[in-house]
Amino acid sequence: MATDLLIRNARPLGGPATDLLIRSGRIVERATGLSAPGVPIEDAGGKLVLPGLVEAHTHLDKTLLGMGWHPHGAGPRIIDKIDHERALKGPLDIDPARQSARQALQSVGFGTTHIRTHLDIDTDYGLWAVEGIAATRERLRPVVDIDRVAFPQSGLLRRPGTLELMDRALAMGVEVVGGLDPCAIDRDPKGHLDAVFALSQKHGRPIDIHLHEPGEMGAFSLELIFERIRALGLRGQVTVSHAFCLGAPDRDLVDPLIAQLAELDVAIMTTGPASRPAPPVARLLAAGIRVCSGSDGIRDTWSPYGNGDMLERAMLVGLRNNFRRDEDVELAFHTCTRGGADAMRIAGYGLEPGCAADLVIVPGETVTDAVVSRPTDRVVVKRGVVVARGGVCTVVAP
Amino acid sequence: MATDLLIRNARPLGGPATDLLIRSGRIVERATGLSAPGVPIEDAGGKLVLPGLVEAHTHLDKTLLGMGWHPHGAGPRIIDKIDHERALKGPLDIDPARQSARQALQSVGFGTTHIRTHLDIDTDYGLWAVEGIAATRERLRPVVDIDRVAFPQSGLLRRPGTLELMDRALAMGVEVVGGLDPCAIDRDPKGHLDAVFALSQKHGRPIDIHLHEPGEMGAFSLELIFERIRALGLRGQVTVSHAFCLGAPDRDLVDPLIAQLAELDVAIMTTGPASRPAPPVARLLAAGIRVCSGSDGIRDTWSPYGNGDMLERAMLVGLRNNFRRDEDVELAFHTCTRGGADAMRIAGYGLEPGCAADLVIVPGETVTDAVVSRPTDRVVVKRGVVVARGGVCTVVAP
C-alpha cells in the first residue's frame, strides 16, 4: 500500500496553511509549496489538519451497533448493569469480533487513529473478548491501532477463576492490566489492588483501573493505588479511568489527591460525564497531569448513547468543564488528541516532521470551531494512507 | 402554497407504520392504505415521524452564525458575559434581523417548527432586537412559528430607561414578559419582580424569567415569584428558565419548591446544563409540572456551543439526567417536543387527527434511537408543507 502522500493547503491546528509531505507513513517535511513528483496528492483546500483522534477508553467488545435497536432495561446501580449485561451477552450473541470491528470502523470514519479498549474477562465468557478483539486488531491494523486492557468487568475476586483468566489474557499479549472499583464491586480493596499490581509486576504491564467510586470511598481507593505505585516503583505506569472522586466539591479532599497524581505521574481518563462528579480537567492539566478522554461504552446494554466521535467527546468534556473561551475548549480537544497519546504512551504522535502520519482533515476555522461544529466531512489518514472519507472507511464493517 | 399532503408509511413515535393525510395544513386522517387523488405524496419509507421539535428557549437575536469565527474571551461571571456582549454587539454588527434568520433556518433544517426567543432590551441598543426579529418572524412565518420574550438582559432596574423600553416592546406586541436573576443581577429582588409582574398585569402577558441563581438564593427568588403568582392569580402563566436552584442536592430545600411549582402550574425550562446544577426532569414531570427545553444561546459571545438541533438537546438533557432506559430517554425527548408545546401553550400540537401538520420525518427505529443517533437526513413539514430536506430549508438564509 502506498504510504507516501502530499497533503496540500492544510492548516495544522488552525494555523497558517501549509503542505505536509509524508514518506513511508511518516511526516518528513512541513512547508508551503512542496512538490514530490509521483506522490499522490490530497488537496485539503484550506481545511484544518488535526493529529489523529485518540479514543483512550472504550469497550469495543460489547457494543450493539448494527444489531438493531435493543431497549435499555438495566437497573440503576453499576452491579445491576454488570449482571444485566452478562446475562444478555450470550443470548443476544454480542460477538466481540464482529462488534468490535463495527465500532472501530465507525470511529475511524470520525478520524480516530488510536483506540484503547477494555476487554471483559469473566468466568461466564472466559477469553471470548480477547480472542474476538485479536481478530479485529489484526484485520484493522492498516486503519487503526488498538491497545487492549484485560478488564475484570464482573469483579476480580468475587467470582473465583477470573484472576487466572486475567493472567492468561496477559500471557496472550494483552497490553494493559485492568481493574474495577476495589471497594464497591470486589468489596476487598486490599485484595483487589494487590492482585492487579501483582499481575502488572508478573507480566511487566502498565495498569488502567476503572474507578467509579465517588467522594471519600474513591479517595481511599486512590490512596491505596498511590501506596502501591510508591512501594513498587511504578511511577508513570498507571491510568485511573473515570475518577469521579476528583470531582468532589471538597478541595481539602481533592487537592492532595491531585498533588499525588502529579508526583506519581498517574494519568486520568474522563468522559466528561454530565450526571456524575467529574475530574476538573483544567486543574489537572495545570498540575502537569496527563489527561485523556474516551467514549466509554457506545450503544451497549449499559447506555444507548455514544457514536465514537472524539470531536463530539471533546465538546462533551468542554460542556462538563464549562470551557467557553477558545483556549479552554482547546484543553478539551487536547484530552481527545495529545492527552490520549500521552496517557497511552503513543510514540511519534503529532503533526511535526518525524511524527507518524496519523491525522484527520476537517472543515473549520479553528480547533474550537471543529469541536463545536463537528462536521462529518472528514478525511482520515493512517500511516500516510487515506483510510476514510466522509465517514466511509476503506475497510468494510461486518 | 399547497397545504395538502399524504405522508405514506411513517411510524409515529416509533409505532406501527401508517399514512397521515393532511388537508389545509392539518392532519385529518391517520390510517394505513389512505389514498387522496391529486394530493402530493411524501413516502416516509418506514422512517419515524415525530411532532415538530420545539425550541423553547433561545436567543435568536445574537448568534454569530455565519459571521466567521469569533474567539471567546468573556470573563467567568454572568455579568462579565453581559457586559462583554453589549460592548461587542455594535462593533461586530450582530444584526438581529440577519442573525435571527440564520439561526432560525438552521433550526428548521433540524426539524424545529416552534421557537421561543428572548430578545435583548437595553438602553444601549433599545428595540433593535425587537425590530429585527419582527422582520424575521414575518419572513419565516411559512416555515416556523416564533414566540418572543422581551428580555432585560442587562438588568431591568440597574440601567434606568430599560423598564420603559420593555413597556414599549410589549405594546408593540411581544408576547411574553421576561426577567433575569432578581437578586444576582438587579440586586433588588422585590423591585425587579414587582416590575416584571406589573408589566404582565398591564399588558395581559405571560412571564418567562431567567433564573440562574443557585441554591438558597434561587430558592428565595422562586418563593418571591410564587408569592406574586398567588397574589395576582397568575397560576399557569409563568415559566422559569434554567432554575439551577432546583438542582441543589438538599431535598428539604427542593421538594417544597417542586410542590409549589406543581400547585401554581409554573413551567420549567432546562437546557440540561452539564456544568451547573440542573432541575431533575423526571421528578418534575412525575409531579405534573410542565418541563420544556431549549438551546439557549447558540454560537454567540457567551458560548461557542450549540447548533439548534433539539434531538441533540434531548440527548444532552438525557445525559445530564442520567436517563438510560428507553422510557427515561423519552422523557428527555418529551421536553424537546410536547413539553415545549405545553410550556408555550401551543394549540393543536401533536400527530393526532385535528392537529396542525407540524412534523419531522427522521430515520430510526425508536424515539430513543433518534435521540442518540441524531441523523441529519430529515424531512420537515410545517402546516402541511415540506419546508426542509437534509437540513436545507426552502427559505434561503441571508
Query: What torsion do the CA atoms of A341, A346, A350, A353 make, to the nearest 10 degrees?
Result: 170
Contact status of B272 with chain A (Cβ, < 8 Å): yes
Distance between CA atoms of residues B151 and A297, nearest Å: 42
The alpha carbon of residue A47 is apart from the nearest alpha carbon of chain B, in Å, by 14
Distance between CA atoms of residues A72 and B368, nearest Å: 10
**Residue pair A390/A361 in contact by the 8 Å Cβ criterion:** no
What does the pLDDT read at residue B1? 57
Contact status of A11 with chain B (Cβ, < 8 Å): no
Q: A189 φ, ψ to 5°?
A: -60, -40
ipTM of the complex: 0.96
A309 vs B contacts (CB less than 8 Å): none
What does the pLDDT read at residue A235? 98
pTM (2 d.p.): 0.97
Q: Which residue has the cell 489537572?
A: A284
Q: How confident is the model at residue A1 (pLDDT cuts 50, 70, 90)?
A: low
Single-letter amino acid code for the residue at A206: P
B322 vs A contacts (CB less than 8 Å): 275-276
Distance between CA atoms of residues B101 and B88, nearest Å: 20
Residue to mutate among B63, B70, B72, with most A CBs inside 10 A, is B72
Superfamily of domain A5-51+351-388, CATH level 4: Urease, subunit C, domain 1 (2.30.40.10)
Interchain contact, A369 vs B69, CB within 8 Å: yes
Q: Which residue has the cell 395544513?
A: B25
Each residue of A152-172: pLDDT tens digit? 999 999 999 999 999 999 999
Helices (H), chain A: 78-89, 96-110, 128-139, 162-171, 189-203, 215-232, 251-263, 281-286, 310-320, 326-335, 338-344, 367-373
- DSSP result, B148-172: EEEE-TT-SSSSTTHHHHHHHHHHT
Give the nearest chain A residue to B369 (CA atoms): A69
Distance between CA atoms of residues A177 and B12, nearest Å: 47
Contact status of A71 with chain B (Cβ, < 8 Å): yes
Coil vs helix vs strand at B177: strand
- Nearest one of B280, B125, B132 to B117, comparing CA atoms: B132
A68 vs B contacts (CB less than 8 Å): 365
Interchain contact, B275 vs A321, CB within 8 Å: yes
Contact status of A316 with chain B (Cβ, < 8 Å): yes
Which grid cell is A24?
Answer: 513511508
Non-local (6+) Cβ contacts of B57 within 8 A are B116, B118, B208, B241, B269, B271, B292, B293, B294, B295, B296
Distance between CA atoms of residues A192 and A213, nearest Å: 14
B73 vs A contacts (CB less than 8 Å): 325-326
CB-CB: which of B74, B325, B366 is closest to A73?
B325
Mean pLDDT of chain A, nearest integer: 97
- CA of B52: how far to CAs of B15, B234, B258, in Å? 17, 28, 28
Distance between CA atoms of residues B197 and B202, nearest Å: 9
Each residue of B7-62: pLDDT tens digit? 999 999 999 999 999 999 999 999 999 999 999 999 999 999 999 999 999 999 99
Contact status of B366 with chain A (Cβ, < 8 Å): yes
The alpha carbon of residue B281 is apart from the nearest alpha carbon of chain A, in Å, by 12
Q: Which residue has the cell 416509533?
A: B14
Which grid cell is A97?
Answer: 469480533
Distance between CA atoms of residues B64 and B80, nearest Å: 18
Query: What torsion do the CA atoms of B260, B266, B268, B269 make, to the nearest 10 degrees?
Result: -160
What does the pLDDT read at residue B169? 98
- CA of B167: how far to CAs of A39, B181, B198, in Å? 68, 19, 10
Other residues' Cβ atoms within 10 Å of the Cβ of residue B36: 16
Contact status of B325 with chain A (Cβ, < 8 Å): yes
B5-51+350-387: CATH topology is Urease, subunit C; domain 1 (2.30.40)
Domain limits, chain A: 5-51+351-388, 53-344
Q: Which residue has the cell 476514510?
A: A388
A272 vs B contacts (CB less than 8 Å): 274
Contact status of A248 with chain B (Cβ, < 8 Å): no
B373 vs A contacts (CB less than 8 Å): 307
Which grid cell is B260?
Answer: 409549589
HSE-CB of B291 using CA atoms within 13 angstroms: 28
Name the architecture of domain A53-344: Alpha-Beta Barrel (3.20)
| Topology alike, domains B5-51+350-387 and B53-344 | no
Q: What is the pLDDT along chain B (398 residues), one digit of tens a residue?
A: 568 999 999 999 999 999 999 999 999 999 999 999 999 999 999 999 999 999 999 999 999 999 999 998 888 899 999 999 999 999 999 999 999 999 999 999 999 999 999 999 999 999 999 999 999 999 999 999 999 999 999 999 999 999 999 999 999 999 999 999 999 999 999 999 999 999 999 999 999 999 999 999 999 999 999 999 999 999 999 999 999 999 999 999 999 999 999 999 999 999 999 999 999 999 999 999 999 999 999 999 999 999 999 999 999 999 999 999 999 999 999 999 999 999 999 999 999 999 999 999 999 999 999 999 999 999 999 999 999 999 999 999 88
CB-CB: which of B72, B272, B325 is closest to A72?
B325
Q: B258 φ, ψ to 5°?
A: -60, -40
Contact status of B365 with chain A (Cβ, < 8 Å): yes
Distance between CA atoms of residues B299 and B308, nearest Å: 10
Interchain contact, B324 vs A306, CB within 8 Å: no
Please list the residues that pair with B293 across neighbouring strands: B270
Which grid cell is A22?
Answer: 509524508
Helices (H), chain B: 78-92, 96-110, 128-139, 162-171, 189-203, 215-232, 251-263, 281-286, 310-320, 326-335, 338-344, 367-373
